[in-house]
Structure 1
Amino acid sequence: AARGQYVFVFVNSRTSAMPQTLLPILSVSPTRALVDEKMEVVVENLPPGFPVTLHSFHHSEDKDHWEAYGHYITDHRGMVSVAEDFSFGGTYKGKAAMGLLWSMRPVPGSRKGLRLRKMNVRTPLLVNISVYSGHSAEGFRERTPLASTLIERWYIAPGVQRIKLREKGLRGTLFIPSGPGPFPGLLEMWGGGGGLVEYRASLLASNGYACFALEYLVPDEVDTRHNVPMNYFERAFNILKEHPQVIPDKIGLFGLSLGSILAINLATESPIVKPACCVCISGGHLHLDGPNLNENNDMIRLDENNHQIWREMGLATFNTSKLVEVGKINCPLLLVNGDDDQNCIRTMYHTIIMPCITQKMKAAGKEHLLTCVLYPDAGHLIEPPFSPHFRATRFHKNVIVVWGGTTEPHSEAQEDSWRKILAFLQHHLYSSPILQAKM
């Protein structure tokens, strides 16, 4: 059968045996790469029409186990190429070159509400790729694979500097790309939940941007997160602007969730922050001095698993809040959202956020600065490409929040949006093309 076509072979996958003289060959290329690089997984030297399971396994920094797997049948040459052949079942189906990564999930029996996030970017995310005889869905750790290999996925490229900053009352980490510089800069801001998150900033630095990952929330402050003082971010922007390795008039703002709300507020309201461009993921144009979300706690809903759904609360907050005058934005603005975002009712993006921003910028003669991307069946947590999809995770204490999205389209949104984001940043922060870092 030609590669990429379905092959119907009647085999008992539980009892099928492989000739003892064959030694399967499993190759993964590259074995050491940045997390936004694709990999090729190929199995060779097996019998034609032989059922196998490709399996990935990761032991996280939180001591949890994650896995993904796909069911394949070898072609007439005894080969399987994950990039070109179809998975007939598993945590992903069809042709999916990176399915062994983006469909990862906690192994059965794990703690509830887990989210896989790399907290120490100085070490790689280690993933074991294995091939097993037959089509299996469980018990992988109790079986001996036909072949196995360990790969490294990095958020930080060789030569990128990681500098902890504790000055002027700020807490954060500055990542400087390798090379002579100076470089365009990015002030990177996350949403609620607390702590310092570095993995996206280090990946952006690996793609050529001096990126300041700013810590501005601690877990005890999540319920009052709209009361963040503007001058905190203005000081951070100035530190980036004054750094000798940063081009002072080529600094952008990059935010997710609350971080995107902060970015829009800074771009419109601050007399100090003059960004060259803004990237805003899963957010809107709420004013920072608007009502606290706690005022609409009665709008929180529970799903069948007792997980919190915030979309009605988000709609109520938008309907009662003062909105930012986005017509004052003077830089290119990229909005990235998923229309299954369970923090926001779908109609918020279709009828409130995007139309309102579009109309106000058009009225100000600045519609040409706005780019909107809305992904069907994608949720709130639009991460770097090939990151696992999380429909619901623990937010803080005993609260598990539903973020939304369906695994395959959400993963496609992550991959496509990352391409668009890097192209947007390159266009507005670089005057000439840059070479993407590789491991």
Structure 2
Amino acid sequence: MTQHSLIKGPHIGLLGISLGADICLCMASFLKNVSATVSINGSGFITNKAIYYKENSVPQLGHDLRRVKVAFSGLLDIVDIRNDIVGGCENPCMIPIEKAQGPILFIVGQDDHNWRSEVYAQIASERLQAHGKEKPQIISYPGTGHYIEPPYFPMCPASLHTLLDKPVIWGGEPRAHSKAQVDAWKQILTFFTKHLGPFPKL
């Protein structure tokens, strides 16, 4: 990526949402040249499959489908299916984000029904500070669900979950969620400009 013609370099920023956010946190933790990372409703944990990179490995947190709830609409609510966070910020299933070279911005929806993103962001903050890192910036949006996408994208309140092969609730109230998408984009641009420099003109 650092060799791409549109990459200013020498370092890059990463932006991910949900599982993509956790992949970005892994990249920031294990790879060089990552100067800034934005996690949108990531968990900070390895949730489904253990990861391996060189001599590093992080086990999976796992889940229990018996904790799935059925909403009034008939859609599944999976917010409680992940296993309890035993050990808090030192849980072995947590991504070692303290190894990241650059700052991390956590953007979370308080009505996320995929998992408890706000709780996970607080645990991530505790882990960073326990390892002598600065307290990260956490921007939390009330009435906002899981898929905080770019401004003016239509809200996705529910859809088919690829692992369960059933429709699930993602959360969010349309007005609050839409306003959060507009503000979050501004916050992301400000964060990257601060830590990577102004965006190059195309």
Q: TM-score, normalised by structure 2?
A: 0.81
Alignment of 1:142-291 (within 5 A): 240-268=1-29, 270=30, 272-287=31-46, 289=50, 290-291=59-60
Q: Helix, strand or coil: the match of 2:28?
A: helix
1:406–1:321 distance in 2 versus 1, CA, 3 Å: farther
Cross-structure match for 1:374: 140
Given candidates 102, 110, 123, the residue that maps to 1:339 is 110
Cross-structure match for 2:53: none
Deviations 1:23-62 (A, max 9, x none): xxxxxxxxxxxxxxxxxxxxxxxxxxxxxxxxxxxxxxxx
Question: Displacement of 1:372 after TM fit?
Answer: 0.7
Cross-structure match for 2:79: 311
Question: Displacement of 1:299 after TM fit?
Answer: 1.7
Query: Is structure 2 residue 160 aligned with structure 1 residue 401?
Result: no
Cross-structure match for 1:300: 68
Do the aligned partners of 1:286 and 1:322 also contact (CA within 8 Å) in 2? Answer: yes
1:283–1:381 distance in 2 versus 1, CA, 3 Å: same
Amino acid at match of 2:189: L
Amino acid at match of 1:421: I
Question: Displacement of 1:317 after TM fit?
Answer: 6.0
Question: Displacement of 1:321 after TM fit?
Answer: 6.3
Deviations 1:286-331 (A, max 9, x none): 13623375x42222211122211110113x2645861123222220
| Greater RCO, CA 8 A, separation 6+ | 2
Do the aligned partners of 1:291 and 1:317 also contact (CA within 8 Å) in 2? Answer: no
Residues of 2 paired with 1:355 and 1:280: CA distance?
13
Q: TM-score, normalised by structure 1?
A: 0.39
Amino acid at match of 2:79: R
1:408–1:244 distance in 2 versus 1, CA, 3 Å: closer
Residues of 2 paired with 1:365 and 1:318: CA distance?
22
- How large is the RMSD of aligned CA atoms in angstroms? 2.4
Segments of structure 2 that go 5 or more residues without pairing to the other structure are: 51-58
Cross-structure match for 2:100: 329
1:426–1:242 distance in 2 versus 1, CA, 3 Å: same
Instruction: Give the structure with higher Rg (CA).
Output: 1
Amino acid at match of 2:10: D
Residues of 2 paired with 1:371 and 1:399: CA distance?
34
Query: Is structure 2 residue 183 aligned with structure 1 residue 413?
Result: no
Residues of 2 paired with 1:421 and 1:390: CA distance?
20
Cross-structure match for 1:349: 118
Amino acid at match of 2:152: F
Q: Helix, strand or coil: the match of 2:132?
A: coil
1:433–1:321 distance in 2 versus 1, CA, 3 Å: closer
Deviations 1:266-298 (A, max 9, x none): 212x2x4430110110112113623375x4222
